[in-house]
């Protein structure tokens, strides 16, 4: 698909939310910072391809970055090549650095205890912009933004009741992404049992994904049973794989991984066993399944994409162009910020493919409901 995701400040969501969130290239320990000069999370490759090349071409001629302009990024728990959320944000961050010829550095976070330390450490390089990844960094990001008014903060998946003038929260309608792939899963299953290997239940974006997946699957197929298992960590790869095996044993033939590497390990396990699987955040065919090199890649039918990478890119471009606005920037089906990946090498049945597009279009025009509260993710009925 080639739909260009959202205009820079498309639709502000009316949100009221309870708070909390879903290194250097040679040193990946938490707190390790440094100048990231190699393009590509894997090293050496340009980030300016596809949507990022398109986005860069649109604005590059109108932006002249000041000499020495410097941006920094702090990940949520995990690495910039985690195959899902951190990697998605990092792609846009690195593409912006490459597009505008600016300096960049990142710090990878090992545990929640490192959030405040890493936010302090990233400031050692005196960045003009700091991007932080994930709902769980919201409290520490707000404190850092208030303490450093000359630095502009881009918080991915971060809601605040009020934002200082140097802070924007890039928020996605995760429930819409979950609904799209849920409607497809309901049409795809032959056993009438599907599953979701989920991340941390205390993180509202995860709950929004999962509950909307369940609701829309049951709307598409009233006979379907939806198995849902949350985990205590987004990096529990052993637990994610074990959950997938348990779901397969209960008859599931479609499994959605909605929880970073935890979910990714679940869908890798399920795909290798022959089940249909669904990724999240980025196109996991390119990341988790290494462009088809991993066993079971032909069983990945799509991924629910929230284009946080392009969200990060556009915010950096806005800061450089002088058009930055604090508050909320939204990613929705209507503006293209919530979308789905192509089936790649999977032989997706036509009825399931049609259901996927039907749900995307219906969410975009408002004719389909996700069935959950867009803030908390809890069922509406």
pLDDT tens for each residue of 216-266? 999 999 999 999 999 999 999 999 999 999 999 999 999 999 999 999 999
| Rounded mean pLDDT, 15-37 | 34
Q: What pLDDT band is residue 375 in, cutting at 50, 70 and 90?
A: confident
Contact at 8 Å (CB) between 301 and 194?
Answer: no
- Kindly give the residue spans of alpha helices, DSSP state H, lying in 76-173: 85-100, 115-122, 138-147
CATH architecture of the domain with range 174-305+338-365: 3-Layer(aba) Sandwich (3.40)
Range from 15-29, 32-46, 291-305, 360-374 carrying the lowest mean pLDDT: 15-29
Model pLDDT for residues 157-204, shown as the tens digit of each residue: 999 999 999 999 999 999 999 999 999 999 999 999 999 999 999 999
Q: What is the pLDDT of residue 381?
A: 79
The strand pair at 103-109 and 70-77 is best described as: parallel
Which residues on neighbouring strands pair with residue 105, listed in sequence order? 35, 72
The rounded percent of the chain whose pLDDT value lies above 90 is 83
| Rounded mean pLDDT, 284-298 | 96
- Tell me what the pLDDT averaged over the chain comes to: 89
The rounded percent of the chain whose pLDDT value lies above 70 is 88
Q: What pLDDT band is residue 45 in, cutting at 50, 70 and 90?
A: confident
Model pLDDT for residues 62-99, shown as the tens digit of each residue: 999 999 999 999 999 999 998 888 999 999 999 999 99
DSSP 280: E
| Rounded mean pLDDT, 105-132 | 97
Same topology, domains 50-173+307-331 and 174-305+338-365? Answer is yes
Q: How far apart are CA 360 and CA 354, in angstroms?
A: 10
Q: What is the pLDDT of residue 44?
A: 52
The correct answer on CATH 3.40.50.360 for the domain covering 50-173+307-331 is no
Sorted by where each begins, the domain ranges of the chain are: 50-173+307-331, 174-305+338-365
Q: How far apart are CA 279 and CA 104, in angstroms?
A: 29
Angle, vertex CA 132, rays to CA 130 and CA 134, nearest 5: 165
| Rounded mean pLDDT, 24-45 | 39
Q: What is the pLDDT of residue 91?
A: 95
Query: Which strands, in side-by-side order, build the sheet including 338-340?
Result: 225-229, 193-198, 254-258, 276-281, 300-306, 338-340
Q: What is the pLDDT of residue 4?
A: 39
C-alpha neighbours within 13 Å on the C-beta side of residue 192: 6
On the question of pLDDT at 16 being above 60, the answer is no
Model pLDDT for residues 257-288, shown as the tens digit of each residue: 999 999 999 999 999 999 999 999 989 999 99
Q: What pLDDT band is residue 347 in, cutting at 50, 70 and 90?
A: very high
Q: What pLDDT band is residue 39 in, cutting at 50, 70 and 90?
A: very low
């Amino acid at each position: 698909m080639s739909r260009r995701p959202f205009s820079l400040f498309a639709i502000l969501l009316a949100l009221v939310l309870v708070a909390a969130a879903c290194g250097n290239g040679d040193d990946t320990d938490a707190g390790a910072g440094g100048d990231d000069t190699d393009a590509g999370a894997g090293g050496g490759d340009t980030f300016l391809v596809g949507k990022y090349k398109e986005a860069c071409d649109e604005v590059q001629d109108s932006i002249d970055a000041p000499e020495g302009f410097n941006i920094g990024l702090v990940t949520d728990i995990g690495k910039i090549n985690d195959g899902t959320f951190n990697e998605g944000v990092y792609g846009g961050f690195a593409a912006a650095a490459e597009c505008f010829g600016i300096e960049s550095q990142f710090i990878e976070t090992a545990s929640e205890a490192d959030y405040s330390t890493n936010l302090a450490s990233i400031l050692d390089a005196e960045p003009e912009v700091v991007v932080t990844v994930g709902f769980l960094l919201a409290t520490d990001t707000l404190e850092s933004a208030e303490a450093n008014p000359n630095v502009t903060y881009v918080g991915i998946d971060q809601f605040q009741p009020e934002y200082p003038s140097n802070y924007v929260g890039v928020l996605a309608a995760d429930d819409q992404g979950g609904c799209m792939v849920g409607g497809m899963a309901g049409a795809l299953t032959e056993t009438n049992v599907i599953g979701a290997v989920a991340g941390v239940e205390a993180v509202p974006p995860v709950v929004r994904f999962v509950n909307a997946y369940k609701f829309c699957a049951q709307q598409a197929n009233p006979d379907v049973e939806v198995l849902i298992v949350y985990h205590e960590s987004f990096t529990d790869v052993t637990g994610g794989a074990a959950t997938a095996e348990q779901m397969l044993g209960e008859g599931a033939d479609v499994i959605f991984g909605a929880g970073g590497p935890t979910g990714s390990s679940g869908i890798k396990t399920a795909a290798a066993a022959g089940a249909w699987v669904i990724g999240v955040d980025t196109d996991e065919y390119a990341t988790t399944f290494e462009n088809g090199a991993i066993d079971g890649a032909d069983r990945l039918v799509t991924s629910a994409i929230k284009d946080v990478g392009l969200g990060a890119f556009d915010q950096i471009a806005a800061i450089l162009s002088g058009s930055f606005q604090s508050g909320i920037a939204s990613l929705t089906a209507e503006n293209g910020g919530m979308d789905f990946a192509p089936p790649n090498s999977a032989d997706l049945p036509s009825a399931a493919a049609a259901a996927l597009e039907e749900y995307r279009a219906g969410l975009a025009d408002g004719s389909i409901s996700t069935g959950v509260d867009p803030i908390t993710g809890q069922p509406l009925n």
